[in-house]
Each structure stands twice: as structure tokens, then as C-alpha cells.
């Protein structure tokens, strides 16, 4: 196994709270093991534009508690092309990088897998996304913080909902996965939860709302995942208003507030564990893998598998949601 001398670290794709903590952990474990860490700005764009900077342990001071990513993230269309990746590799080679830690989502991992296959640059992925939809880890970095942000927002919405006879539709992030909607819906006591994995018809939702009213509830909160296919929160709101004229129907789209904020303790610890694990994997000659945590243990999953498979939601939680809202 060739000695690892220099490792590049980048954040790519959608940002997530805790990415800074992952960068810090990767940089500091490089220092710990006598490897020179090199920060790459704006994801793959920085590799193509040669926007690199050698880091030291102090370069990542005071960032563990900051949301976002100080290296910035970017979407880079050029990296999707073989020519773009060749340019990126040429810069990586000229800088003497022996490996790359890629903190991002499945798009970023696809890019990592391709540059490794085409040019032999060892890459290790670290899952950073609020959606928690990456196969090979029980939790992604940013998910726990996003859950807490959403629950805090819904608690506030509940105050105004109960002060009037209001029905709130709260749209949360999750284009393909309902993890955020399902878990925050339970935690914030939502009357209904709409997720892409369990498509409810509008009629079923109407029945549920009618039952809620019969059970004595005068206000309701419906958490709707972005990926729900009922036509979107605004269309749903107008259908509900037509059927339930007594309800004052309001819509709140939480949007990008869910991406920001100080990372939670869980996210900081997860990011620290995975940042260290990524550098250790490269040291041990493991690459083309993503590091994750399963059943409390750090594990590796081939990038190919992490990209092609998906974590399923826990169906038992749907039952719990139904029971606790009678
Ligand atoms: P995420 O990593 O959060 O899923 P994206 O899907 O936007 O975010 O991917 C981030 C970046 O990864 C893209 O801008 C692009 O540079 C690179 N990437 C994504 N998909 C591919 C692909 N199929 N081939 C090569 N690079 C890709």
C-alpha cells in the first residue's frame, strides 16, 4: 500500500448542518496521522478551477458549531463530463493528492465513483444531507438538526392553530423520502402525515380530517413531505377549504430554514466520527466506499451500492403515528 501523504477534502451538492464538523474531523485526522490536508472550495468546481488550499489544525478552529459549509458547496455541471473529470484529476495529481474525502449526497458520490474508476483517484464518501435517504447509514449528517428545526417550527404553528379553528398544512423537505415528515409529524403531534412512500388519496385525507373533527379536534396540523404526490400543499389547501368551510386552512412551507442552523449535538458527533473514519479508510487502502453508522457501528458501503439503493422508512412508525393521533 502506497503511503498516504496528501488528502483533499470537499463538500458538494446540497448543504447540510454538520458539514463543517465533518470537514474539521477530516482535516484534523489528517494532521493526527501525519497527512497533509488540502481543502477544495466549492466542491468539484474547486477541483476543476484549482481552488485548493493546504490546511492546518487551526484552519478549522471554531467551525464545529457553525451551520452550512465554510468550504462552500456548488453544483458543477462540468464534472458530469469525462473531460471535466479529467481536468479535475489533472489538478488533483499536480497538487499531489493521494485521495479525496467527498462530503455530500448521492450525486456527489456518483462523481466520486467516476473519478476513481476513470483515473484511479481513491475516494471515500461521507453522507451529508438533511433528507436521511442514503443507503448504508442509519443517519446522514444534518438530518437530526433538520428534525429539530422542523419540530420547533411546528410547535409554534400549533400555538396559532389551536388559538383559532385552523388547519395547517406544513410542507417539509424530502423529495423522495418521508423521513423528515414522518418523524417530525410524530414528534410534533401532527394529525396527519403525508409522505411519498405511502401515498394517501385526497379522499382518504378528507376522511381523516372529518374523523378528527368528530373526535373533538378543532384544529389540525398536516405535515406534508415535498415529495407527496397529492398535487402540492396549495392545491391540497384549496380542496380542503372546499370540503370543510368551517376550517380556516393555512399553508406554511418551511423551505430552506430546514437546511440552516447550528448543528445538533448528534450531528456534530456523527460528523466527527465519519470525518475521522473517512481518513482512516483511505489510510487503510479502502476507497470507492462511503462511511456510515449502522447500529451504532461505523461501517463502509461501496459507493455503487450507496447510490443505487435506498433506505426504507420504518412502516411501524406509520402505525405509531395513527395510534397516537386518535
Ligand atoms: P448531492 O450530492 O447532494 O446529491 P447533486 O446531485 O447536485 O447533489 O450532485 C452534486 C455534484 O456532484 C454535481 O453538481 C456534479 O458535479 C456531481 N455529480 C452529480 N451527479 C453526477 C454524475 N452522474 N456524474 C458525475 N458527477 C456527478
Q: Which residue has the cell 468546481?
A: 45
CA of 13 to the centre of ligand 1 (A): 6
Q: What angle do CA 274, 276, 279 make, to 5 degrees?
A: 110
Rounded Cα distance, 34 and 145, in Å? 32
**Ligand 1 center–CA 22 separation, angstroms:** 19
Instruction: Calculate how far, in angstroms, residue 38's C-alpha sits from the geometric centre of ligand 1.
Output: 21
Query: How are beta strands 220-225 and 192-194 bridged, if at all?
Result: parallel
φ/ψ of residue 61, rounded to 5: -70, 145
69, 107, 127, best to mutate for ligand 1 pocket (most atoms within 8 Å of CB): 107
Of 15, 98, 106, 131, the catalytic one is 131
Q: Is the CB of 91 under 6 A from ligand 1?
A: no
Nearest CA to ligand 1 atom 7: 13
76 lines ligand 1 (CB under 6 A): yes
> Please, what are the domains in the chain?
6-142+263-308 (3.40.50.450), 145-259 (3.40.50.460)
- The closest alpha carbon to 131, from 222, 197, 205, 189, belongs to 197
Instruction: Evaluate: CB of 219 within 6 angstroms of ligand 1.
Output: no
| Tens place of pLDDT per residue across the chain (326 aa) | 568 999 999 999 999 999 999 999 999 999 999 999 999 999 999 999 999 999 999 999 999 999 999 999 989 999 999 999 999 999 999 999 999 999 999 999 999 999 999 999 999 999 999 999 999 999 999 999 999 999 999 999 999 988 888 899 999 999 889 999 999 999 999 999 999 998 888 888 888 888 888 888 878 999 999 998 888 999 999 999 998 888 889 999 999 999 999 999 999 999 999 999 999 999 999 999 999 999 999 999 999 999 999 989 998 999 999 999 88
Q: Is 117 in the pocket of ligand 1 (CB under 6 A)?
A: no
How remote is the CA of residue 77 from the centroid of ligand 1, in Å? 8
Is 131 part of the annotated catalytic residue set?
yes
Q: Which atom of ligand 1 is nearest to the CA of 75?
A: 14
Q: Given ligand 1 and candidates 73, 80, 173, which is best to mutate, with the most ligand atoms within 8 Å of its CB?
A: 80
Amino acid at each position: 500500500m502506497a503511503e498516504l501523504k496528501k488528502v483533499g477534502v470537499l463538500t458538494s451538492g446540497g448543504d447540510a448542518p454538520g458539514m463543517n464538523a465533518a470537514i474539521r474531523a477530516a482535516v484534523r485526522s489528517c494532521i493526527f496521522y501525519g497527512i497533509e490536508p488540502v481543502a477544495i472550495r466549492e466542491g468539484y468546481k474547486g477541483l476543476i478551477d484549482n481552488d485548493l488550499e493546504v490546511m492546518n489544525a487551526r484552519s478549522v478552529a471554531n467551525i464545529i458549531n457553525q451551520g452550512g459549509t465554510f468550504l462552500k458547496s456548488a453544483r458543477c455541471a462540468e464534472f458530469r463530463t469525462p473531460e471535466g473529470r479529467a481536468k479535475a484529476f489533472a489538478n488533483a495529481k499536480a497538487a499531489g493528492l493521494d485521495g479525496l474525502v467527498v462530503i455530500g449526497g448521492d450525486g456527489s458520490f456518483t462523481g466520486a465513483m467516476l473519478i476513481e474508476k476513470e483515473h484511479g483517484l481513491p475516494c471515500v464518501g461521507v453522507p451529508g444531507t438533511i433528507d436521511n435517504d442514503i443507503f448504508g447509514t442509519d443517519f446522514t449528517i444534518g438530518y437530526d438538526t433538520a428534525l429539530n428545526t422542523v419540530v420547533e417550527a411546528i410547535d409554534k404553528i400549533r400555538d396559532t392553530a389551536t388559538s383559532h379553528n385552523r388547519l395547517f398544512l406544513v410542507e417539509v423537505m424530502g423529495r423522495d423520502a418521508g423521513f423528515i415528515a414522518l418523524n417530525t409529524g410524530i414528534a410534533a403531534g401532527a394529525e396527519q402525515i403525508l409522505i411519498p412512500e405511502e401515498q394517501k388519496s385526497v379522499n382518504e385525507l378528507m376522511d381523516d380530517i372529518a374523523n378528527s373533527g368528530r373526535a373533538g379536534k378543532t384544529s389540525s396540523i398536516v405535515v406534508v413531505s415535498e415529495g407527496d404526490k397529492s398535487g402540492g400543499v396549495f392545491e391540497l389547501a384549496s380542496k380542503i377549504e372546499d370540503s370543510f368551510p368551517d376550517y380556516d386552512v393555512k399553508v406554511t412551507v418551511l423551505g430552506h430554514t430546514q437546511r440552516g442552523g447550528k448543528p445538533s449535538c448528534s450531528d456534530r458527533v456523527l460528523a466527527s466520527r465519519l470525518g475521522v473514519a473517512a481518513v482512516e479508510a483511505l489510510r487503510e487502502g479502502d476507497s470507492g466506499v462511503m462511511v456510515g453508522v449502522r447500529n451504532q457501528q461505523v461501517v463502509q458501503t461501496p459507493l455503487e451500492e450507496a447510490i443505487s439503493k435506498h433506505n426504507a422508512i420504518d412502516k411501524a412508525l406509520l402505525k405509531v403515528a395513527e395510534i397516537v393521533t386518535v
